[in-house]
Homo-oligomer: A and B are copies of this chain.
Amino acid sequence: MSVKVTVWNECRHEQEDEEVKRVYPETIGGCLMDGLAPYGFDLTLRTLDDDEQGLPRSLLDETHVLIWWGHRYHGELADERIDYIQQRVLQGMGLVVLHSGHHAKIFKRLMGTSCNLAWREADQGERERLWVIQPSHPIAEGIPPYIELPQSEMYGEPFDIPEPDELVFTSWYQGGEVLRSGCCFKRGRGRIFYFGPGHETFPIYRDANILRVIANGINYVNQAHGDGWSLDNWGRPEPAEPGAPRQTRFKRPRKPGGVKPE
């Protein structure tokens, strides 16, 4: 079965900025759709200006992996919508957060930190070189020891994230900075991959290696299976050990479903 991937793109730069229109006439989301098509995913494109900000529950419920590209309008997304997306990730939906998505509400929500970093944006960009830290990691399949991008926006350390569960890439910048630019996190049943490069004025999402990393990332964060416990609140009135003390306190009314059968 194909992995169902929803590519969510803010898609306002592409309307507001002439320069972005020139670089991505098909929009960033459109470019990702084209670039990921050969990998056999079942792809859906949505933007901030679509119905329900492109993120209706019905779509999220069927999405295996959500790709996130946002920048200027993170604040427009209602907290309730973010609540639901977070819940879906904790249930196992994979999440790939690209570039300026470091400040997306959903990423900050899942990290618990500010996700601040250092940054510098030059007209012609600067050179970025992404070094593979773990060459045998599934996300590094098909990738050479480093990826060189002639034009990129600098995103530098310290990056205020929890220590990643896995560090796959670290970036070097021409201007003298470094970044943990490919980071995996597990939250609940879900996996998250943050991938740094992708400024809107540089054609980074046309780079074959970058696309390969994103495709690998999709496969990596796609939940392996849905077996086992759901990570819900788990009242266990009967102990696993026969004869051990049983639940006796039900003095206060509890919500139905609070105690689940095994």
Which chain B positions have C-beta within 8 A of A110? 112
Instruction: Report chain B residues within 8 Å CB of A174.
Output: 239, 241, 244-245
Closest to A92 in B: B136
Interface of A, helix, strand, loop or mixed by DSSP: loop
The contact of A132 among B86, B125, B228, B249, by CB within 8 Å, is B228
B-facing residues in A187-202 (Cβ within 8 Å):
187-190
Closest B residue, CB atoms, query A86: B112
Q: Which residues of B contact A138 (CB under 8 A)?
A: 224-225
Given A119-B235, A172-B177, answer yes or no on A124-B245 (Cβ-Cβ < 8 Å). yes
Name the interface residues of A90-142: CB closer than 8 Å to any CB of B.
90, 92, 109-114, 116-127, 129, 131-138, 140-142
Q: Give the contacts of A218-256 with B (CB-CB under 8 A).
A: 223-237, 239-241, 244-249
Cβ–Cβ contact B109 & A236, under 8 A: no
Task: Pick from A21-29, A45-53, A54-62, A155-163 the stretch touching chain B.
Answer: A155-163
- Please measure, in the bound complex, the distance between the C-alpha atom of A174 and the C-alpha atom of B160, giving whole angstroms: 25
Determine the chain B residues whose CB is within 8 A of the CB of A156 once the complex forms.
Answer: 131, 234, 236
Copies of the chain in the assembly? 4
26 A-B pairs whose Cβ atoms sit less than 8 Å apart in the complex:
A116-B231, A116-B233, A117-B233, A120-B239, A122-B246, A122-B249, A131-B178, A132-B229, A133-B159, A134-B158, A135-B189, A135-B229, A135-B230, A138-B225, A140-B228, A141-B224, A145-B228, A162-B186, A162-B187, A163-B167, A167-B167, A170-B170, A172-B172, A172-B240, A173-B239, A174-B245
A148-B240, A167-B167 known; 20 other A-B pairs, CB under 8 Å? A114-B188, A116-B232, A118-B235, A119-B236, A122-B249, A126-B239, A129-B240, A131-B177, A132-B157, A132-B158, A134-B158, A135-B158, A135-B228, A135-B230, A136-B224, A145-B229, A165-B165, A172-B177, A173-B239, A176-B240
